[in-house]
Amino acid sequence: MIAQITALWQRFTTNNSEQAGEPVVATSDSTPPAAVLPPVDIAPNDPLLAYLLHVNGPVEVERLKLDSPALESLKAAGTRLLVPLVSQGELIGVLNLGSRRSDQEYSSDDRKLLADLATQAAPAVRVAQLVRQQKLEAAERERVAQELKVARLIQQTLLPQSLPEIDGWQVAAYYQPARAVGGDFYDFRTLPDGRLAIIIGDVTDKGVPAALVMATTRTLLRAASERLVSPGAVLERVNDLLHPDIPARMFVTCLYAVLDPATGHLVYANAGHDLPYTTGPSGVIELEARGMPLGLMPGMHYEEKEVTLAPGDTVLFYSDGLVEAHDPEREMYGFPKLREELAGFEGDDLVTYLLDTLHAFTGPGWEQEDDVTLVTVRYDGPSSVQREDPVQKGEVALLANFEVPSAPGNERRAMNQIAEAVASLDLPPDCLEKLKTAVAEATMNAMEHGNQYREDLPVHIRAEVEGTRLRVSITDHGGGAQIPEATTPDIDLKLAGLESPRGWGLFLIKSMVDEMNVHTDDEHHTVELVVNLDKT
């Protein structure tokens, strides 16, 4: 008996197939080694485990009456005795014995010997389990370290090693992963026609899988940009190629923009990434475009938008590590603060400025929660807003392109920004005052009637010169219903109370400019004001 249990103990403590820290079943019987009982798995919620934890000494299997799948398996295997191994109140193993060779029953001395053996063996088994657990954890740490090394190498290799150098433009980038390897990436690519592709993205994972998806996405974007001109078409192509092979529960947010340095024209499409901003003399503008992240679903369409940058404008592309940073009180940096900081920016180094605001917000000892990536593109070229050029060449020159929140009083802000934007046109004072009045009235109508004074729905204002015509457009989010025609009000009926006192707005606006046009679609109203410069 002693020899048999000793052999059992040696096999039990050297068995590497069991998971450290989990209760295991060691088997023995009184038959030759070829007839060793098979091990039996016991589920964590099996009532046999709870029973064995609260008994002392050997337990006869045939006398147990439990609704236990493990118990039935033990009986079927010919198990006669179970001896629990308990260490510090935890069941860490079970000795499993079959019938004796002599066919005699286990004596009281046998049972006492088994109980003593279990008492002495349990701590040793626990030590063996802890040693094995430490070995497994050390191997896991080594594996993770190697994985991070590979992922970091992939990421460092693929991030741009230098920034584009373009006359009249400043390009800056900042990247700081929250951990050894992040999920953010950015890229620049000079296209055959001289335009610059700007890419920023974020893979929703970390480690080697994210690094490989990042590398794949970057390669697909570059390949698609060689054959396709449209940013939306590039994202569609990459999404369809990425979707079949991307790992489960992973996707990529990505913004793809194409800049024409000669004109400042920027075309962009967005695959679920944080919206970029422009900031400059015309104010802060959020560049909206809709589209699902890459890899989620096939056959997606990506909306394209465009904007023309003026001298002094800076475009900011960024990842969510900026806006989702928290201060010591767990308040989030957020988009409203980002807009506020952009509105207050007056220098030429937006990256340093935003990092200063971030560090001031989070305070010392900040534990970075997510990757922070910033890419800025600033236009420093000479202004194309010269009255003589559009008049002579018939080109379109952008004077202003900005938004104002829908809040009472912001009509004055819109009026003043338009006055500054058209200053180079040298409009006669009376013409300028009429234009300012028309812009203020149209903006107030857009905020009140179109956007219902919802602060999350801004009014978009754009001014441009084409030939001898100055056009100012005011756009709200009240699409659907048509804006009524501007009719001459009947003063007598209004005074008599037979006609609404409202309705002067459109009449007033139309009388202040040379031409007023109204456009409506499912989402927006646009009032276009036209001033003929050759008549001023």
Where does a domain end: 344, 379, 414? Answer: 379
Q: Measured at the alpha carbon of residue 439, what is the angle toward residues 436 and 444, in degrees to the nearest 5?
A: 125
Token digits of residue 62: 């045939």
Q: Per the domain annotation, does 203 fall within a domain?
A: yes
88: CATH: 3.30.450
**Higher-confidence residue: 286 or 457?**
286
Which pLDDT score, from 0 to 100, does residue 336 have? Answer: 93
Which pLDDT score, from 0 to 100, does residue 292 have? Answer: 96
**Percent of the chain, pLDDT > 70?**
82
* Residue pair 40/74 in contact by the 8 Å Cβ criterion: yes
Q: Per the domain annotation, does 141 fall within a domain?
A: no
Q: Does 361 score more than 50 pLDDT?
A: yes
Same domain, 301 and 397: no
Which pLDDT score, from 0 to 100, does residue 15 have? Answer: 36
Q: Per the domain annotation, does 342 fall within a domain?
A: yes
Q: Mean pLDDT across the stretch 228-237?
A: 90
Q: Per the domain annotation, does 469 fall within a domain?
A: yes
pLDDT in tens, 430-455: 999 999 999 999 999 999 888 998 87
Which pLDDT score, from 0 to 100, does residue 117 have? Answer: 85
Q: Does 193 score more than 80 pLDDT?
A: no
On the CB side of 242, how many CA atoms lie within 13 Å of its CA? Answer: 32
Which pLDDT score, from 0 to 100, does residue 5 have? Answer: 35
Same domain, 190 and 335: yes
Q: Mean pLDDT across the stretch 116-129?
A: 83
Can you say how many angstroms the Cα of residue 382 is from the centroid of all Cα atoms in its chain?
Answer: 36
Q: Mean pLDDT across the stretch 271-277?
A: 95
Local confidence band at 485 (pLDDT 50, 70, 90 cut-offs)? low
Alpha-carbon distance values, 515 to 120, 241, 298, 422, 470 (Å): 100, 49, 46, 17, 10
Structural domains of the chain, count = 3
Q: Per the domain annotation, does 145 fall within a domain?
A: no
Which pLDDT score, from 0 to 100, does residue 484 have? Answer: 54
Local confidence band at 387 (pLDDT 50, 70, 90 cut-offs)? very low
Its domain, for residue 354, covers 159-379
Q: 429-445 and 410-421 helices cross at what angle (nearest 10)?
A: 140
Q: 207-227 and 108-158 helices cross at what angle (nearest 10)?
A: 30
Read off φ and ψ for residue 16, nearest 5 degrees: -90, 5
Which pLDDT score, from 0 to 100, does residue 491 have? Answer: 44
Torsion of CA 327, 331, 333, 337, to 10 degrees: -120
Token digits of residue 340: 């506020």
Q: Per the domain annotation, does 33 fall within a domain?
A: yes
What is the SS3 string spanning 249-303? Answer: CCCEEEEEEEEECCCCEEEEEEECCCCCEEEECCEEEECCCCCCCECCCCCCCCC
* Residue pair 322/358 in contact by the 8 Å Cβ criterion: yes
Q: Per the domain annotation, does 18 fall within a domain?
A: yes
Same domain, 257 and 303: yes
Please name the residues in contact with 1: beta carbons below 8 A apart, sequence gap of 6 or more.
30, 100, 110, 113
Same domain, 237 and 333: yes
Q: Mean pLDDT across the stretch 125-142?
A: 85
Q: Per the domain annotation, does 317 fall within a domain?
A: yes
CA distance 107 to 96: 16
Altogether, the residues listed in the chain come to a count of: 536
Same domain, 237 and 356: yes
* Residue pair 402/473 in contact by the 8 Å Cβ criterion: no
Same domain, 369 and 419: no
Q: Measured at the alpha carbon of residue 377, what is the angle toward residues 362 and 375, in degrees to the nearest 5?
A: 40
Q: Does 349 score more than 80 pLDDT?
A: yes
Same domain, 510 and 492: yes
CA distance 324 to 332: 6
Q: Mean pLDDT across the stretch 76-101?
A: 84
